[in-house]
Amino acid sequence: MVNIRPKTTIQMKMSGVGETHSRSRISVRDVAAIIDEPIERHGTNEGLTPTETLMSSLIGCTNVISNKIAAKMGIEIERMDISLTAEFDRRGTTLAEEIEQPFSNIVMDIEVTTNATEEQIEALRVDLNRFCPVAKVLRGAGITITENWSIRAR
């Protein structure tokens, strides 16, 4: 029996086209996404802003990694609702002045419907902090991420 090990490091490849002064079309694999600005900032409002895209990636990564950890632990997550609030200093995006760290605080309220015990959820939370690459990058940049978990029993 041959044991094939998956690659541990890959190169992510994507491309983007600036279609207007505010709208970009991003392509990766066979998927396209639009990043845009709202109408009040002279965009076409066809997609998330760049900073909204960054924060939404934290929500998505939290969901994906939490579910992987839960599956490995043998617990079921029936539903995960995540609300995120971020303190964002926009002075850099308005070109008023350079801001070293535009995001100072992120709070995620995570509501989970699961069969897990409180102890299992605590173990999941610890592993989430160990393995979510988006959260690790943000925390490594000095951003505080607070996770408020609430559990709904199944």
The Cα 154–Cα 80 span in angstroms is 12
pLDDT in tens, 97-114: 999 999 989 999 999 999
The Cα 128–Cα 75 span in angstroms is 15
The Cα 42–Cα 23 span in angstroms is 10
Element (H, E) at 84: strand 77-88
pLDDT in tens, 54-84: 999 999 999 999 999 999 999 999 999 999 9
pTM of the full structure: 0.91
DSSP-assigned letter for residue 142? T
